Amino acid sequence: MIETYQSSNDISFGDVFKFVSLIEGIIQEQRKNYPDSLKQYTKAYEMDEQCYPALYGSMRMLLETNQPEIVLQLLDKAQYEFKSSLEGKRYRALALFALGRYKEADPLIAEVLKLNTFDSKFILMKARIQIEAGNYREAVTLLTAYSKVNQPN
């Protein structure tokens, strides 16, 4: 365990290490080095389970590296405040969708779209679910909305 040194600003060595790992995770993500980014985000989150940016980063990297099952495991272990947040529901929907568990993802996708109707990724996910269910008219409506949201300037 890392001993903490309390300065006048109450920042511990553990906090410094956590921030360094978080920043390194961001840098590696921008370089599209997803495995190393995941290692750094995970390290930061293990140091502090309240460090939600590290949790978000870990889940993004897990989705990028096609590991949605682990995203669901992380969400199941996360604190209640995160699980019930819009971001928590968003990541759960993305993971369930990636696993092809459309019936479970659908209500979460609808909830995200209710709060952010212009989320193009979720519009496409919802359209795919409608197509899979044979609801082609609803899919066309969603795809029309998608084309309006993603018009070039």
Cβ partners under 8 Å of residue 71, min gap 6: 59, 62, 63, 91, 92, 94, 95
Mean pLDDT of 97-103: 97
Residue 100, pLDDT > 70, answer yes
User: Are 4 and 12 spatial neighbours (Cβ–Cβ below 8 Å)?
Assistant: yes
Q: How would residue 9 be classed by pLDDT, with cut points 50, 70 and 90?
A: low
Q: What is the mean pLDDT of residues 104-123?
A: 95
pLDDT at residue 126 tops 90: yes
Cα separation, 56 vs 62, in Å, equals 10
Residue with tokens 């996910």: 125
Using left for φ > 0, alpha for ψ between -120 and 50, and beta otherwise, residue 2 falls in beta
Q: What is the pTM of this model?
A: 0.83
In this predicted structure, the answer to whether residue 30 has a pLDDT above a threshold of 80 is yes
Residues in the chain: 153
Contact between 116 and 122 (Cβ < 8 Å)? yes
Predicted local distance difference test score (pLDDT) of residue 153: 56
